Structure formats: structure tokens, C-alpha cells
Amino acid sequence: MLKMIELPYPLNALEPYYSMQTLDLHYHILYKGYVDNTNKTQEKLEKARNTGDFENLKCLEKNLSFFGSGAILHELFFMNMGPAVPTEPSSQLMEQIGKDFGSFEMFKKQFSEASKAVEASGWALLVWVPKWKKLEVLQCEKHQDLTLWGCIPLLVLDMWEHSYYLQYQTKRPEYVNAFWNIVNWNEVNKRYKNIS
Ligand code: MN
């Protein structure tokens, strides 16, 4: 069961920059909805696994990604705000920002512009890309695009047509079934061990 995080500051602590009423609604109604619906979705997924009824799986996976990513991003958002007392990046983070964006001012400019240019509903994010050992600014539409933020891939299967069409044509299920014969679990185990 996912639990709501507690706000580490009172509801009026971000005034006048972020009003108490806005934070109240955002935390108690909207964020709560994401957490509750993530839990409901996980219960339904458990039921599907137990009954073997995967009829609604596509919808459930979508909901897991939407509500779960909504919950995770709101937690980051609430936690990365605080009362208006000046703070700044640590010397290590500042050094990395300088390396990857040129300067703190240039990072702020890119982050601000990315925020303002988010199409419809979404987020702007400063992220660390472990593969590249690099900071990047990203935009995200809605919350998810079918992922959960911060998750680390352990096992992947390419479902683009180029990966199977020449051999399996429209027989996608045959390709998926065949895949299980060639999974190298040693590699998956290694990845899992590195993160757990
Ligand atoms: Mn929100």
C-alpha cells in the first residue's frame, strides 16, 4: 500500500508564493487521488494475477503508470518546495550544473523556458541520467507516457514491428512466447542485484 507523504511544512508555509488554499486542494484532494488510485490499481492487478483474468490489463497498466507517476511526481514537487528562506545547490551539484549547462543562470533559463513550453498538462524536470552521468532538463506531458519515474529497467522486450515482423509477421503472441526461451536471467539478476 502506497501511503501519502506528510508535508514537512504547514499549509501556509509557502505564502505568498504558493497560496494555502492552492496547496490545501493540491495535497488533500488531487495528490490523495493519485495515491488512492495507485493503490486501487495495484489491488486490481493482484486480482488479475490471481484469477488469470487479464482482460483489462492494458487499462490497468495505463492507470498504474498515470496514477503512480502522478503520485511520485507530486511527492517530489511538494518535497522540493519549502518556506522562502534562501537555499542553494551544494558545491558538488553546482559543479555538475556548471559542467552540464554552462552555468547556474543558464540552467535556470533552460528550466524556466522548458516549463513555459510544456504542451498542455505536464511537468518540467531536472534529471540525472545514470547512463550518461549527466544532468538534463526534460519536459513531461501528463505525468507518465507509460512509465513510472525513477524506475530502473530490469528486463525489456522490443515490441516495435522491426523487431519481429520479418520472422513472425502479425503473429505477435508467438514472438512474445518465443522470447521467454532466450531470456538471459543472469544479466537480469545482475541488474537487480545492483539496485537492491
Ligand atoms: Mn498537480
Say yes or no to pLDDT of 6 above 90: yes
148 Cα to the center of ligand 1, angstroms:
16
pLDDT tens digits, 22-66? 999 999 999 999 999 999 999 999 999 999 999 999 999 999 999
Q: What is the pLDDT of residue 103?
A: 98
Question: How large is the average pLDDT for residues 64-71?
Answer: 94
**Residue pair 72/150 in contact by the 8 Å Cβ criterion:** yes
Written as nine digits, the cell of 109 is 533559463
Cell of 181: 526461451
Q: What is the pTM of this model?
A: 0.88
Residue 119 grid cell? 504542451
What is the tens place of the pLDDT at every residue in 146-186? 788 888 888 888 888 988 999 999 999 999 999 999 999 99
Q: Tell me how far the alpha carbon of residue 156 lies from the centroid of ligand 1, in angstroms.
A: 30
> How many whole angstroms from 35 Cα to the centroid of ligand 1?
12
Cell of 154: 530490469
**What angle is formed at CA 19 by the lines to CA 13 and CA 22, rounded to 5 degrees?**
115
Ligand 1 centroid from CA 141, angstroms: 12
8 A C-beta contact, residue 150 and residue 195: no
What is the distance between the alpha carbons of residues 9 and 75, in angstroms, rounded to a whole number?
A: 13
Please tell me the distance between residue 123's alpha carbon and the centre of ligand 1 in angstroms. Answer: 9
Determine the distance separating the centroid of ligand 1 and the alpha carbon of 180, expressed in angstroms: 39
